[in-house]
Structure 1
Amino acid sequence: MPITRSPLLSLRFICSFVLLAPALVTHAAGVSPSRCEQSFGKEVANSTIETCRLELTNSLTTTKRIVILETLGKAYLSQNEPDLAITTWKEASQYARPSREDAVSSETWTRLQVLIAQTLLQAEQPQKAEAHLNRTLSTVEQSIGRYSLSAGMVQDTLGTFYALQAKADEAEKAFKLSRIVYEIRMGKTHLRTMETRMNHAVGLLDMGRETEAQEQFQVLAEIINASPAYKNEPIRAEVLTFLGTLQMRGDKLLEAANNYQAAYEVRQAAFGPNDIRTSQSLNNLGVVLYRAGDLKRSEVALSKAYVIRSDALGSQDPLTLSTQKNLQAVIAAQNAAKNSPVR
């Protein structure tokens, strides 16, 4: 039976944008996200693109225009149009700049450069991706400083890049510098610090160091589960998903199921019951329950995941088809159990 790994493992950059880059914007009280933002991840990409383009014709603040352009680029990328995504993020970059006087603008500009580099790597252009990241780091360090939050963001991304290129020394150095920045400036248990520690653990997986990675995910899970502040934070779902996947590989099915269930509850609270990210947890939960022999609960979880993915992505999307195959395997197992002679 197919097993869908966490999107950070299988679609490293496309699916990790929402978590690994800082939030698009912190909305003030009473200020609602744009229709473009609300559409992304909940409607088919074409609908999101149309909604974003329409909103861009309105009179917008600079911050709102950047957010919509950033979301539009992600929608293009979800349709496998990296060139359009990069062009859109370059346009958004014109509305921000690295500056000691404006931390928000600096991080916004840096985040957009990171998205461009990640997309170049996803498009199998690693040399261009590395060059872009190094240029971005040089600009940030000269404009803001080596230990700025923006520099930490770029170092974190370089760590991931080098891990994927199996350059262990370079990856470890970059992750170390990123963690130092966040721990010094924001604290050891701050969200950004937890994110770079998680990315380091994922980097260990990318380099084939699975035992070390699982140890780090276990530590992160203990820290995050013990903190009420992280109860419904998306990073908790990501950490528990990775840990659950590694536990399932080791046939620790009960532990994996518990972590997948918790990840599902987090994503349902954070993103809503019909979000694509919620469907990932349902799919994972269905798979581990199948392996544990709990076919009834597996069918329920996979059926929910299938409906979400079919409605949002269409019946022929690879994610929808993957869940469909999983569900078919469960139904076949149920039928086999019914037809099995009683001894």
Structure 2
Amino acid sequence: MGEGDSRELDIVPARDARLVFQLRVRNSASKNSPHRLSRTSTAVGVAGYTCDAYRWPMMGADQISLSLMVRHKLPASHPALAGVSVAAHMVLLDRAGSPAPSVGKASAMDASDSISGGCSLRATREDVEKFCVVDDYFVLLCSVDIVTTMGGNKPSSAPAPLNEEELTDLGHGLATMLDNLDLTDVRFDVDGESFSAHRLVLAARSPVFRAELYGPMAESKMTSITIHDVKASTFRYMLHYMYHGSLPNSDEKGEDPLSAVDHQHLLVAADRYGVERLKGLCERKLCDDFTTVDTVVSMLALAEERACSKLKVRCFDFLAKGENFKMVGTTPEYLHLMQSIPSLMLQVRNRFNFNIAHPDVIMNPPSTD
């Protein structure tokens, strides 16, 4: 399989968005040559990084598989890149130019020694042609976030951090604007509720909102936007984080107002809109406070789907303790997860040194001695 004609894939920079671009794919070319690998690439606006876009060969013409791979000229394990995190996002645009997250399934890629990060998306051609193809092309909105969490002369997409007093003042000012609906200029209709917000705040927090509200898409000219596939409570918590830089505090009884399910939904929304710090916050909270016999299967599925490596390790560690695996490993939910994701079942085998002849047969858990 060689690389295809570069005209099949075309990267188009989005207006005023350094790390946001559109990937245009010629539908007929990918349909007529489903077994051919096609590739195009671009610099992502930060020194040393490039982004390669691929259309991968499929078994048939009825499926589409695309990915972004972000690379640096240095290997990912190089000390100069310590503390630099890379995240990529892809979402198909519908015929009106709006994000269509219900078409296809996107998932993040774990970093390796040769890849700093990335994202893949798989969809049925029937859905893409029904909702997304215009003039023989379908378009994906792509974003790449590169954030430095340590000092040094490393590439960074963020300015120097503010001190604690400055952050407090800024957070209080933004929260007051949100609470009083002061100068809001966009409204979101989510799951039967309306939320008013400020375009600039959302654009500063989310590369997806930045492209949606200030790019060439239809939403940039709209004052009311409908969001699908997100619960109203989840959107409210995400807005709270965007303005406060934190999630709601504990209630009067000292209990966390967000449940494990709330944090899971919020992690998915943060991943969808590229709010990486919020995604990391939710992942840490799930690891620290919400890993139980009742939640570990859903969290393991979430960790696999959203490439949350820390959460996956936490789930494996939980299952390795005491009687936990005996209680979880025979449940219908666990068996269904292992059968639906064979690669995850292989990881469980390797992690626990199981010798499972059939996925329905669960052997004894590992010794905790």
Q: Which TM-score tier does this pair reach, normalised by the shorter chain?
A: 0.3 to 0.5
Q: Which has the higher contact order (CA 8 A, sep 6+)?
A: 1
Q: Which has the larger radius of gyration?
A: 2
Scaled by the length of structure 2, what TM-score is found? 0.33
TM-score under structure 1 normalisation?
Answer: 0.35
Instruction: Compare the two structures and name the one with the higher helix fraction.
Output: 1
